[in-house]
Amino acid sequence: MTVHLWLRAETKPLEERTALPPEHAKQLLAAGFKITVEQCPQRIFSIDNYAQIGCEIAPAHSWQESAPNEAIILGLKEFSADVTFPLSHRHIQFAHAYKEQRGWQEVLGRFKRGNGTLYDIEFLVDPEGRRVAAFGYWAGYSGCAVSVLSWIAKQNGTDLGPLSSYPDRETLLDEIRHQLAQLSQKPKIIIIGARGRCGTGALDLATALGIEVSPWDAAETASGGPFQEILEHDIFVNCVFIQQIIPPFITREMLARKTGKLQVICDVSCDPFGEYNPLPIYSQCTGFNQPTVLLENSADVSLVAIDHLPSLLPKESSEDFCTQLMSTLMTLTDIESGVWGRAKDTFLQKSAALDQQQ
């Protein structure tokens, strides 16, 4: 049976990334897939690029009425919270609902009511439990970049203004280098989770700019937080992927009595609503329109908590992500086993937790 992938338009504002760039769609078409691509003006790739390689083109959000039941709806970010109709298709996307984040019951409830299935991208894993594809590197890279830009703005007596995407990393680096050159010093950064994909991206950004870094990972955090050393740095970038409750890295009390250098915190992991959050110092995310907020009672510490940081470099991050995912997409011809089978089992387990609460 031919696999029909339906690439839907994203609904999150300023989300320019896609789960399927044209060059990867072309490979799937060559393998016998059928691909429908919805129009999406904010997508970094032109709809013409998809049409030219043989994809069917559909209006934005038309999957809701037009996608056949056997189509697999491929997206990236979660649906808008104000849309609540039941979901009857099989969906591949990030849902942010498996760690009991705010609104998780409603998200899973939509699939339950519509008899649909969620294949959460965050939980597409190999037999050893390792994720098969992630934006982690680019989240860390972009998060560290935004942190440095925020720190520069503070040195100039201002707040970081609205962000927009960059065509490539060199353009981003050139801009930051130019701004740093106007200052007499560079910040000192502590990165927690420096050995992971996300931390590696943050470390590469700092290294490219010649910024001093304290790279922390499991060994440095083994004793359990909170960690006073964070306050000795100008910027703290959290890149840890947490799957259990751990002691916090930093607390509101620490910030209230802060006397150190800390001026910017970037929570790349960005999970303020879940119980696993090791940064229990904020309760809302920031965004590209307002990338930072001043933390309450924090002696002028700004927070960056953007949950779609790789959108700062949408072309490179999309292409890298789908290159990682490509071999797994090819196995959609046998969606009941392997990575997809494990993802469905996880969905059923999480849905059972929803049943227990009702």
Q: Between the CA of residue 189 and those of 71, 96, 166, 252, what are the distances in Å?
A: 46, 28, 23, 20
Residues 267 and 144: their CA atoms lie apart, in Å, by: 10
Please tell me whether residue 24 adopts helix, strand or coil conformation: helix
- Of 77, 154, 315, 350, the catalytic one is 77
Q: Between the CA of residue 195 and those of 49, 124, 136, 226, what are the distances in Å?
A: 36, 21, 12, 20
**Could you report how far apart the first and last alpha carbons of the chain are, in Å?**
38
Active site residue 77: yes
Please tell me whether residue 172 adopts helix, strand or coil conformation: helix
User: What is the sign of the dihedral through the CA atoms of 314, 320, 324 and 327?
Assistant: positive
CA dihedral 150, 262, 102, 306 (to 10 degrees): 20
Phi, psi of 18 (to 5 degrees): -145, 155
- Of 12, 24, 91, 96, the catalytic one is 96
Residues 63 and 89: their CA atoms lie apart, in Å, by: 9
Active site residue 154: no
- Per DSSP bridges, beta strands 188-192 and 212-216 are parallel
Helices (H), the chain: 22-30, 47-52, 63-66, 104-114, 136-155, 169-180, 197-208, 218-221, 252-256, 314-329, 338-357
The token pair at 99 is 């760690």
Count how many Cα atoms sit within 13 Å of the Cα of residue 180 in the half-sphere of its side chain: 19
Residues 9 and 79: their CA atoms lie apart, in Å, by: 10
Find the helix or strand (DSSP H, E) in which 35 lies: strand 34-38
**What DSSP character marks residue 350?**
H
Any idea which residues carry the catalytic annotation? Answer: 77, 96
